[in-house]
Chains A and B, each alone.
Chain A
Amino acid sequence: MSTPFLSVRDLRVHFSTEDGVVKAVDGLDFDLEQGKTLGIVGESGSGKSVTNLAILGLHHKDSTAIGGEILLDGQELLTATERELERLRGNKMAMIFQDALASLSPYHTIGRQIGETYRKHTGASKKEARARSIEMLTKVGIPQPDLRVDDYPHQFSGGMRQRAMIAMSLVCNPTLLIADEPTTALDVTVQAQIMDLLKDLQQEFGTSIIFITHDLGVIADIATTSS
């Protein structure tokens, strides 16, 4: 067996609250290999999202105590500096959030939001970033991408927003993609389309995916390993 691409060992995420310490995650281990999909299932409040926010380093630093280790491609993430994490986020590891409307900025066009990730990590020009945004929108199946690129999120339908979100997270060809209930807010047909899209993109780019859901049917469909 090859060395795992992402390895989480004895992960503990504890929040200090007014009512004492909440142990959201206590001693979690898992490995994920390149190009595979790990499904994480659990009821609400079982620490699924918290685990993944911790991988990206997006937890609240002041009120959260994290222990254990997270190795991404040999790099320890929990001890990484904010600057190192910035370089990894959106670039090597990306995340798709559950509520695409709330997770996309209402103040910027879809194209700009996709493009700014690309510009940040590749130093591309505005023009290149725009071309890349259109390319990504095409890939995720948005019709008339060269027009829709200048739209704002509120001008997109729910399914299109989630596609745009996926386009945004994949714009730098990340090796790790964390999808946090990406289909929960969508209806069943769109859900199936999004799942297919993720599978296609995974095959194309060889991305490892952590797929969080509370829907076992979805997990059976996509995951190679479940925990």
Chain B
Amino acid sequence: MFRFLLRRIAGGAVILLIISAIVFVLFYAAPRDPARLACGKVCTPETLALVKQNLGIADPLPVQYWHWFEGLFVGRDYATFGNCPAPCLGYSFRNSEPVLGTILDRFPTTVSLSLGSAVVFVIFGVGSGMLAAVKQGKALDKIASSASLIGSSLQIYIVGVFAIYLFTDQLGWLDRPSYTPFTENPGAWFSGLLLPWLVLSVIFTANYTRMTRSQLVETLSEDYVRTARAKGLAARTVFFRFAWRGAMGPIVTIFGLDLGVLFGGAIITEKTFNLHGIGELSVKAVSTSDLPMLLGVVLVAATAILVFNVIVDAVYALIDPRVRLA
């Protein structure tokens, strides 16, 4: 298990390296010149060169990449900003803020949003999927199946806007979405994020209902489930210990991937509810040609996915003894 984890982590580091290199290359393949943007309206070649020098983009691409990469481990000295201790992700081209600080500042919002909605969609999605599978073919199953079909075809930016209008503006049941740090005021944290959680989890809930139902319908007809019944075990035991155990693997896998993607920023949800998380940051970094910020955000998003992948693999081995030896 330990060697397995070590191997996965080493592989993950290589993948991150490749991703960062790709972002670097792609950034310069794009026709926009960040120095030109920062230079202002009256831009002489001399100022342009100076700006380039200050941004650290005057060097050839491999040298730039090397400086950036070096900064991660040993820190970096800037002419304009002074020393940036390791791990240094550089300074934003746009507002000269340190990238790492900005990301750390935004990350709690994204984590709160992701984890909160994950709790909602796992409870409701998996729960209703279980009910639908148990009541297969009955009215409850049909209701759950149709509701999830409608749910998964909804769009956050429509549901979100409508939900704010209805629950906040008209009925006044829910607070206007905002982010307050949990450590500052847990109550405000909860009430400010409740609406985004619910809206973000609508589509996920629908998908998890469908997935849980189809997985369980399959495992419930497995021979070993019939054997468990033939042994005289109670229906509840058969369901949870055998059928659910078999259905869990694929659900955990998808859940890990979804959580990884959410940790990289729920762009549409953050935009809809005006929350300043990683997703919003990444959109801004792209639209303002802010290379250091973009690299930082991409690395965070990729790391989140890699970390959850390793967790999923470890959990899968716990669930299914057949993959332990492989």
Contacts and interface: CB of A to CB of B under 8 A. Distances in A.
Asked if A pairs with B, the answer is: yes
B319 interface: yes
B79 interface: no
A89 B226 CA distance: 12
A87 B232 contact: yes
Contact of A102 (B137, B223, B322): B223
B68 interface: no
B319 A94 contact: no
B229 interface: yes
A152 B322 contact: yes
Nearest to B324: A152
A210 to B, nearest CB: 14
Nearest to B222: A102
A167 B58 CA distance: 76
B10 interface: no
Given A82-B235, A116-B233, A58 B322 contact: no
A90 interface: yes
Contact of A106 (B228, B231, B233, B321): B321
A154 B322 CA distance: 7
Nearest to B138: A62
A88 interface: yes
Contact of B231 (A82, A90, A152, A154): A90
A58 B232 contact: no
Interface residues of A, number: 29
Contacts of B319: 107
Contacts of A137: none
B320 interface: yes
Given A62-B137, A107-B321, A152-B321, A89 B232 contact: yes
B223 A106 contact: no
Tell me the dominant secondary structure on chain B's binding face: helix
Contacts of A154: 321-322
A56 B231 CA distance: 10
B230 A94 contact: yes
A97 B233 contact: no
Interface string A81-105: 0100111111100110101001111
B277 interface: no
B142 interface: no
Contacts of B242: 105, 107
A102 B241 CA distance: 16
Contacts of A58: 226, 229-230
A133 interface: no
Contacts of A86: 232-234
A116 B232 CA distance: 10
A97 B227 contact: yes
Interface in B230-248: 230-235, 241-242, 245-246
B224 interface: yes
Given A102-B224, A107-B245, A89 B229 contact: yes
A105 B224 contact: yes
Nearest to A62: B137
B241 to A, nearest CB: 8
Interface string A43-80: 00000000000001010001000000000000000000
B217 to A, nearest CB: 13
Contact of A91 (B227, B232, B245, B320): B232
A168 B228 CA distance: 11
A88 B224 CA distance: 19
B139 to A, nearest CB: 13
B232 A106 contact: no
A141 to B, nearest CB: 21
With a 10 A CB-CB cut-off, give which of A91, A103, A107 has the most chain B CB atoms: A107
Contacts of B241: 108
A105 B243 CA distance: 10
Contacts of B229: 58, 89
B242 to A, nearest CB: 6
A89 B222 contact: no
A102 B246 CA distance: 12
Given A62-B137, A152-B321, A154-B322, A103 B231 contact: no
Interface string B292-326: 00000000000000000000000000011110000
Interface string A154-169: 1000000000000010
| Leading 5 A-B pairs by shortest Cβ distance | A90-B232, A89-B232, A90-B231, A102-B223, A105-B224
14 contacts: A85-B232, A86-B234, A88-B232, A90-B230, A97-B223, A97-B227, A102-B224, A105-B224, A106-B321, A107-B321, A108-B241, A117-B231, A117-B232, A121-B232
